[in-house]
Amino acid sequence: MIGYVVRRLLLMVPILLGLSILVFLFVRALPGGPAIALLGERATEESVEQIEEQLGLDQPVHVQYGRYLGNLLSGDLGTSVSTRQPVTSELARRFPATFELTIAALIFAIGLGIPLGYIAAKRYQGVLDNVSLVMSLIGVSIPVFFLALLLKYIFGVQLGWLPTIGRLGITVSLEHPTNFYVLDSVLTANWEALTDSLKHLVLPAIALGTIPLAIVARITRAATLDVLSEDYVRTARAKGLDPLVVDRRHVLRNAMLPVVTVVGLQTGLLLTGAVLTETVFAWPGLGTLILNAIRFRDYAVLQGGVLVFAVIFVLVNLIVDISYAFLNPRIRYR
């Protein structure tokens, strides 16, 4: 098992190298550059040239890449053109925000999705099954942007129950040892901040988690139906095992394999691209960072961001693969 994990981690290196070249070339293929993006109507030939020279963009591409790779290997991801801060600190600062939101969305999606899917399967073609089918369809069809605005309108503007922007209200102060607001509140025993940061998480988590919820529910239902018709389930029941034990030990555990795969993929997607949700909720995470970077042709941030995303994806999928071995003892890694 250890060998397997180490091999997978080593594989990351060529993957990331190849990816870095692709991204490097791709962002430079985007029309426009940071100079025009920064200057707008004030751009003149001279000022554009001046900025490009300053940023080293007038060098041939392979020279630029060589420099970039050299910096990368010493941990320097470059400087953001629009904020003039190092890319590493920009990414480090925003990652906890996105991570916290992703966890909240996952708790929502899995916490509701698995039970819903399971029950729908158990009461196959019953009322709950059909209702959940319809709701899943709505869930995957509604554009996230629209759903987010709708949720904010109902629960924020009309009912006034929940806040609509940011991670914390303006009247609340909080120390930030980790930049995970919920964790920080607990660590500093700041209960006002705890409830406030949780309240700020509710709507974005629901908006972001609705599609994963629908998907998880459907996959759980399908997987459960599959397993329920297996011989070993019939055998277990025939043996006289308590139905709950049958459910937990045989049905659920085996149904979870495809669900875990899906959750792993969803996590990767959530972590790397909650752009729409973050924008609508003014959530200061990686999504808004990347969106701005595209708008301003901020090459350094785009390159650094994509690399970080790739690392996240690979790690999450590795965790998913490893978890198979725990769920299904027949799967062994050598």
Mapped onto helix, strand or coil, the DSSP state of residue 251 is helix
Residues 152 and 164 sit within 8 Å (Cβ to Cβ): yes
DSSP annotation of 56 = T
DSSP 79: B
Instruction: Establish if 103 lies at the interface with other proteins (CB under 8 A).
Output: no
Q: How far is the CB of 77 from other proteins (least distance, A)?
A: 11
Check binding of 28 to other proteins (CB under 8 A). Answer: no
Site for other proteins in 188-217 (CB under 8 A): 195, 198-199, 202
Residues 113-142 that bind other proteins (CB under 8 A): 114-115, 118-119, 122
79 is a contact residue toward other proteins (CB under 8 A): yes
Q: Which of 24, 180, 281, 309 binds other proteins (CB under 8 A)?
A: 281
Residue 65 in contact with other proteins, rule: CB under 8 A: no
Query: Among the residues of 231-298, which ranges form H helices?
Result: 231-238, 243-245, 253-273, 275-280, 286-295
Q: Which of 45, 143, 229, 231 binds other proteins (CB under 8 A)?
A: 45
In angstroms, give the least distance from the CB of 284 to other proteins: 3
311 binds other proteins (CB under 8 A): no
Residues found in the chain: 334
83 vs 188, beta carbon nearer other proteins: 83
Closest approach of other proteins to the CB of residue 10, in Å: 26
Helix axes 299-327, 286-295, angle to 10 degrees: 150
Identify whether the C-beta of residue 227 lies closer than 8 Å to the C-beta of residue 124.
no
* 166 lines the binding site for other proteins (CB under 8 A): yes
CA distance 121 to 142: 24
CA 304 to chain CA mean position, Å: 16
Please state the φ and ψ torsions of residue 98, each to the nearest 5 degrees.
-65, -40
Q: In this complex, which beta carbon is closest to other proteins, that of residue 7 or of residue 67?
A: 67
Shortest separation between residue 130's beta carbon and other proteins, angstroms: 19
Residue of the chain from 2, 13, 127, 159 that contacts other proteins (CB under 8 A): 159
